[in-house]
Amino acid sequence: MKIGVLALQGAFREHCWMLERCGATALEIRKPAELDDIAGLIIPGGESTTIGKLMVQWGLMEKIQTRASQGMAIYGTCAGMIMLAKEIIGSDQPRLGLMDMAVRRNGFGRQRESFEAAMLVPEFGSEPVCAVFIRAPYIERASENIEVMAIVDDKIVIARQDKMLVTAFHPELTNDDRIHKYFISMINE
């Protein structure tokens, strides 16, 4: 199975390694035409304003929206989660706007710029997920078509809407491949 990783900026290489480890073929995506051939797309963490600007410049915004409407699955981590939100609180930066939620950038505050949290996520079994948060956003509001999968400090940090999955943290920086495996199973559904 071919899965693309948006490779404009940020932590895309780690996602590619994780996908390969899970048995998928990872492709770095920079041009609109490269989206034709993939069953799923990962939008990595990084700086969402930069990723958004480059997505507009490289003509990727509309093409990703079109491919999503055709059923291509998307997984956004951290800045990738911000890119998927309809509403980014206090910002008019470019976005895909595909998920019915409002996100708050850097929502965990300065004292907690980066931290790790262990959380139990029923979908991933009885072993807690160890999540690495780096200047992470969270979901402040989600409409009822969004499935909330994990909450930390009363903040939503994993969610799913149809074939779109988001995590506020970076599983690609850990050894835990369950979330990537879950994304692959979403594509296969």
Residues tagged active-site? 78, 170, 172
Site for ligand GLN in 58-97 (CB under 6 A): 78-79, 82
* Cβ distance to ligand GLN smaller for residue 39 or 97: 97
Query: What burial class does residue 127 get, using C-beta atoms within 10 Å of its C-beta: 0-12 exposed, 13-18 middle, 19+ buried?
Result: exposed
Distance CA(188)–CA(127), nearest Å, equals 24
Q: How far is CA 120 from CA 18, 95, 97, 150, in A?
A: 21, 30, 28, 8
* Cβ distance to ligand GLN smaller for residue 39 or 112: 112
SS3 102: strand
Closest CA to 183 of 70, 34, 46, 44: 44
What minimum distance in Å lies between the beta carbon of 135 and ligand GLN?
4
Question: Which of 57, 65, 66, 106 contacts ligand GLN by CB under 6 A?
Answer: 106
Question: Which of 27, 102, 119, 134 contacts ligand GLN by CB under 6 A?
Answer: 134
What minimum distance in Å lies between the beta carbon of 52 and ligand GLN?
9
> What is 32-67 written as a DSSP string?
GGGGGG-SEEEE-SS-HHHHHHHHHHTT-HHHHHHH
Q: How many alpha carbons fall within 13 Å on the CB side of residue 97?
A: 10
Question: Which of 5, 6, 48, 129 contacts ligand GLN by CB under 6 A?
Answer: 48
* Cβ distance to ligand GLN smaller for residue 90 or 122: 90
Site size for ligand GLN (CB under 6 A): 11
Distance CA(1)–CA(103), nearest Å, equals 31
Question: Which of 135, 141, 155, 178 contacts ligand GLN by CB under 6 A?
Answer: 135
CB 64 within 8 A of CB 97: no
* Cβ distance to ligand GLN smaller for residue 39 or 130: 130
- Stretches 34-42, 46-54, 147-155, 176-184: which one binds ligand GLN (CB under 6 A)? 46-54
Q: Which residues bind ligand GLN (CB under 6 A)?
A: 45-48, 78-79, 82, 105-106, 134-135
